[in-house]
Amino acid sequence: MNKQTIKDINWQGKKALVRVDFNVPQSDDGHITDDARMRAALPTVDYLLNHGAAVILMSHLGRPKGGPDPKYSMRAVADHLAALVDAPVAFVPATVGAEAERAAAALQPGQVLVLENTRFDPREEKNDPGMARELAALGDVFVNDAFGSAHRAHASTAGVAAHLPAVAGFLMEQELAYLGGALEQPASPFVAILGGAKISDKIGVIQNLLRKVDAILIGGGMANTFLAAAGYRMGKSLVETDALATAATLLTEGAGVIHLPVDLRVASAFAADAEQRVVSIEDVPADWMALDIGPATIAHFSNRLAAAKTVVWNGPMGVFEFPLFAQGTVAIAEMLAGLRGATTIVGGGDSAAAVRQAGLEMKMSHVSTGGGASLEFLEGKELPCVAVLNERAA
């Protein structure tokens, strides 16, 4: 990565305007139920505080409709953050404007200020230049540490960079180093594992990876569409009929590289307690649906992974929310956790959640915080919020 980071700035006496991804789940009574994204930003926040900066944090939370909604206020996030950092944490119920400006002006080195939800301002998602200028007025240097939002050009993620020096935080740097390294200089054999519900979400990723990998292992709901395109009857399984032609083309282009399931765990209904059994891909019952890969597929995929030196995984192998149909996903996670001398990168979203659910997050080289962003990166797209960061001098 040839972008400047927070290590390239002298922070003494400066105000760091930091875009973080604190879009965290909350209980009905407003308590944070999973603070993984907050903890991921702590190295950046701590570095800034320890190097003389005052830290102003901004993030979106949820999908508020049309304006402020107490359900999505950042106040609870600020309260939770106070228990995670060794510094005073204040909250201001404004994102821009006079109240936010007064709070930012009063902020001293070693202190943290959390702004209100950026999406309470309808201009945020429009990347409005006026809002970007108002945000920039609060700080001296813009730090983007929100990889999970790096594919969205919003006022707080990209627009503000037009008005302030813009550098990457440690989390952003780490994401780009791991994902960029996998695409640009992967150790071989390089294996990609792709799952999730829809092939349409990953067509570009498959097309890009076909030129770089030694094998692509496909599971999850998207495998149904590939199997249907290969001529197998999939019963009531999720199949994207409008993607069948694309799937057939990819199978031709990826002959010898794309590996599909050889057996499936099928169910009588989409339910955690449904009747289930393992069948060959040739024997899916007409009234049943595939909800996980089967043991023979797990063995086949494990054989392909055994010698891998670089692995990128995006998307679960089945409906991992149901324990009966999480077996394929957990088995793949355990296989990756046991690889020696390999770089294992787990894309964000459901695959990251599955790895955490299996208690194996710390045994992966890197678990991404960005589902959509990691997908677009793997697709070979330039992320708009990365493009605006200052280049490091050659």
Q: Domain map of the chain by residue range?
A: 6-174, 186-378
Per-residue tokens: 240: 């994207």
Stronger pLDDT, 1 or 46, i.e. the higher one: 46
Burial 260-277 (b: 16+ CB within 10 A, else e): bbbbbbbbeeeeeebebe
Catalytic residue among 220, 315, 349, 371: 349
Catalytic site residue 372?
A: yes
Catalytic residue among 30, 338, 372, 380: 372
CATH superfamily of 186-378: Phosphoglycerate kinase, N-terminal domain (3.40.50.1260)
Catalytic site residue 37?
A: yes
Torsion on CA atoms 309, 312, 318, 324, rounded to nearest 10: 50
Does 186-378 match 6-174 at the fold level?
Answer: yes
Per-residue tokens: 385: 């919020």
For the segment 161-178, the average pLDDT, to the nearest whole number, is: 95
Catalytic site residue 198?
A: yes
Cα–Cα distance measured from residue 4 to residue 14, given in angstroms and rounded to the nearest whole number: 17
Please tell me whether the overall predicted TM-score, pTM, comes out greater than 0.75 for this model.
yes
pLDDT of res. 348:
67
Catalytic residue among 75, 126, 133, 198: 198
Indicate whether 1 pLDDT > 80.
Answer: no
Residue carrying structure tokens 């793997």 = 378
Q: Kindly indicate the confidence band of residue 352, based on its pLDDT and cuts at 50, 70 and 90.
A: confident
In tens, the pLDDT along 241-271 reads: 999 999 999 999 999 999 999 999 999 999 9
For the segment 323-338, the average pLDDT, to the nearest whole number, is: 95
Catalytic site residue 196?
A: no
In tens, the pLDDT along 267-318 reads: 999 999 999 999 999 999 999 999 999 999 999 999 999 999 999 999 999 9
Catalytic residue among 14, 37, 202, 212: 37
Q: Which fold has domain 6-174?
A: Rossmann fold (3.40.50)
Q: Kindly indicate the confidence band of residue 370, based on its pLDDT and cuts at 50, 70 and 90.
A: confident
